[in-house]
Amino acid sequence: MIMPLPPRRPAEFAPDPTAKAASTPSQAQPPEKPPGPSACVGTFKERGGIALPPVPASSSGDCGIDDPVTFERIDRPDGSKVELDSAITVRCSFALEVLAWIRDDLSEIAAGENAKLATLAGVGGHACRPRNGVAGAPISEHASGNALDVSALKMQDGRIIPLAGRDAATLSMRGAISKSACARFTTVLGPGSDSAHKDHLHLDMRKRSRDFRICQWTVE
């Protein structure tokens, strides 16, 4: 028995030979790359700062750092360098102030004493703690990477300039360092300010109402 053929498919349902094949779904876009260094970090490098690979964020909130930079060396325009005896992490805007203080102020002061600055000793940067490490005290500027501690300067000829003490031979240099620090930073605490700073210098850029500044360092 011969079966009849199926009826012809209506023209409106016939495939269009001129139609393009359906486009395949676009491939998934690769994830965005993390943002590169900030403009501030770029300026820091242009001015001679040698930024190290960023350290993983270990704290947040009151102890977080905005735009952090880690460094332990500054290159001067003449090709020489100034070392920090340990790497510090601070906010970039503060790193620019430290860089300028070392490159412009301290280097010039040392040159006036027929010396060349080589190293900052006893340095400290970011530290998540209250002021002076006293429990219950307000949070320190160190916690937000806005402060530097330093206890001495070392010259290329081997001379060491402690920032504390009563060495008559270094009195004029320490006086010049005090003047430059108080002109550049909003907080300067050193010997004579309190017991917590009797053997080192604390510098920060804390903002206060009416641009009030603190300069407490007795140079003897």
114-145 pLDDT tens trace? 999 999 999 999 999 888 778 777 889 999 99
Separation between Cα atoms, residue 129 and residue 65, nearest integer Å: 13
Per-residue pLDDT of 154-201, as tens digits, reads: 999 999 999 999 999 999 999 999 999 999 999 999 999 999 999 999
20-24, Cβ contacts within 8 angstroms, sequence gap of 24 or more: none
DSSP H helices, the chain, are 39-46, 92-100, 107-112, 171-184
- How far the first Cα of the chain sits from its last, in Å, is 124
Secondary structure letter of residue 66 according to DSSP? S
Structural element, H or E, at residue 83: strand 81-91
How far is Cα of residue 35 from the mean position of the Cα atoms in its chain? 17
Which positions ≥6 away from 67 have C-beta within 8 Å? 38, 40, 41, 91, 92, 93
pLDDT of 21 higher than 70: no
Which two tokens mark 217?
Answer: 């360092």
Backbone phi, then psi, for 156, in 5-degree steps?
A: -65, -25
Within a 10 A sphere around the Cβ of 20, how many other Cβ atoms? 6
Per-residue pLDDT tens digits for 23-54: 454 566 666 655 678 999 999 999 999 999 97
d(CA 59, CA 63): 6
pLDDT at residue 75 above 80?
yes
Six token digits for residue 98: 């430290």
What is d(CA 98, CA 195) in angstroms, rounded to the nearest whole number?
A: 24
Q: In what order do the strands lie in the sheet with 160-162?
A: 49-52, 68-75, 81-91, 117-121, 152-155, 160-162
pTM: 0.81
In this structure, are residues 73 and 84 in contact, taking their beta carbons and an 8 Å threshold? Answer: yes
